[in-house]
Amino acid sequence: FLKVESLILTGRYMFTNSDEAVINKKLPKELLLRIFSFLDVVTLCRCAQVSRSWNVLALDGSNWQRIDLFDFQRDIEGRVVENISKRCGGFLRKLSLRGCLGVGDSALRTFSQNCRNIELLSLNGCTKITDSTCNSLSKFCPKLKHLDLASCTSITNLSLKALSEGCPLLEQLNISWCDQVTKDGIQALVRSCPGLKGLFLKGCTQLEDEALKHIGAHCPELVTLNLQTCSQITDEGLITICRGCHRLQSLCVSGCANITDAILHALGQNCPRLRILEIARCSQLTDVGFTTLARNCHELEKMDLEECVQITDGTLIQLSIYCPCLQVLSLSHCELITDDGIRHLGSGPCAHDRLEVIELDNCPLITDASLEHLKNCHSLDRIELYDCQQITRAGIKRLRTHLPNIKVHAYFAPVTPPPSVGGSRQRFCRCCVLL
């Protein structure tokens, strides 16, 4: 199939407006239809202009099961979505309208009525839509599994209640930055959608611990949870999540400044499958909590500890011993980290084959010695060293002799900061030499 597709696209067959073209004689329509199923939207539209028979084949609904219109977002209006829904009908399974600002409730109602087998729908950034769209989806699209409503700021609890009534198969929901949502909407959703595996609640600033308690009680299948900048949540709600969601693999609580080591203890005791932990700007966390976490969560692959200002080399020692799968580690603004901690990390089991990214921005105690400790990390692809005043160009050059393909992001501030421009507050120039 792929070989014939290549022949089609490279023009090795002569196309004419005649339906008697060679390829139409050689291949049955069923096989051509199968070949067309591998083409993207643009190529299908081009094929539709070759001949009458190709027009029928290219525009057959079976070829339009997956559509992503992100690249055309500025040109997509409601009528386009309506026409697509009429063309695809029950064939359409996945549709992305991410960033299509011209699409509103009316078009999506028509879409819902025509495409009742839709399973994945992205409306990320479609700011015109309201609760009316979720009512339409609830009424006509019972097979919906993945729904992305991020930045649809008119969405309220009414949408979640509607989805809970008509979309019981929902597995993943993104309502990031839908800041009108409260615990009432979350409660209605999780009680009727027990198969939820992914919840993205970033920027839902009205959510409190009560909402998390509902999630912990009703979402045993939960794998991914994003609560970034949900600033009202505390240990109490998150501990409930840990105790009820033992399959949790990815947790983001960056910017939730109220949490303490109690969360790290709860994760260690209840969530052994944890792979991704983003916990930046949580300044109350210490080595004690990360020790418990590392000793129990051996599958950790990515950790964002930026501005966890109390951690020291002790945390890195524990990670180097107990977390052999670590690939990405951010320690930016962790000002107590020293070369000794990097030495342990560079000699740990993750170093040689796993570690890909390490971020050390604003770690003032880091010197060229740390770069020496990382030279045997053969998988290391990127290192961030902004504002590491003791790192030198010579040290970076030596690192590159061992890791020639590594991306090093650093800059060297001028010795004497330039005078401030305007106002009385001193400003430091971020002139840099990008390496």
Q: What's the whole-model pTM score?
A: 0.87
> What pLDDT score was predicted for residue 29?
79
What three-state secondary structure class fits 295?
A: helix
> What pLDDT score was predicted for residue 22?
65
> What pLDDT score was predicted for residue 426?
39
- Contact by Cβ (8 Å): 373, 398: no
- Contact by Cβ (8 Å): 62, 91: yes
> What pLDDT score was predicted for residue 72?
80
Q: Which of 25, 21, 88, 101 is nearest to 61 (CA)?
A: 88
> What pLDDT score was predicted for residue 429?
34
Please report, to the nearest 10 degrees, the dihedral formed by the alpha carbons of residues 369, 370, 373, 374 taken in order.
-140
CA distances from 138 to 67, 191, 195, 359 (A): 21, 16, 16, 44
> What pLDDT score was predicted for residue 301?
98
Q: How far is CA 159 from the centre of its chain?
A: 23
How many Å apart are CA 27 and CA 17, to the nearest integer? 17
pLDDT 10s digit of each residue in the chain, 435 long? 344 344 344 444 434 445 556 666 667 878 888 888 888 777 877 887 788 888 888 778 777 889 998 888 777 889 989 988 988 889 999 999 999 999 999 999 999 999 999 999 999 999 999 999 999 999 999 999 999 999 999 999 999 999 999 999 999 999 999 999 999 999 999 999 999 999 999 999 999 999 999 999 999 999 999 999 999 999 999 999 999 999 999 999 999 999 999 999 999 999 999 999 999 999 999 999 999 999 999 999 999 999 999 999 999 999 999 999 999 999 999 999 999 999 999 999 998 889 999 999 999 999 999 999 999 999 999 999 999 999 999 999 999 999 999 999 997 755 544 454 444 443 333 333 333
| The residue count for the chain | 435
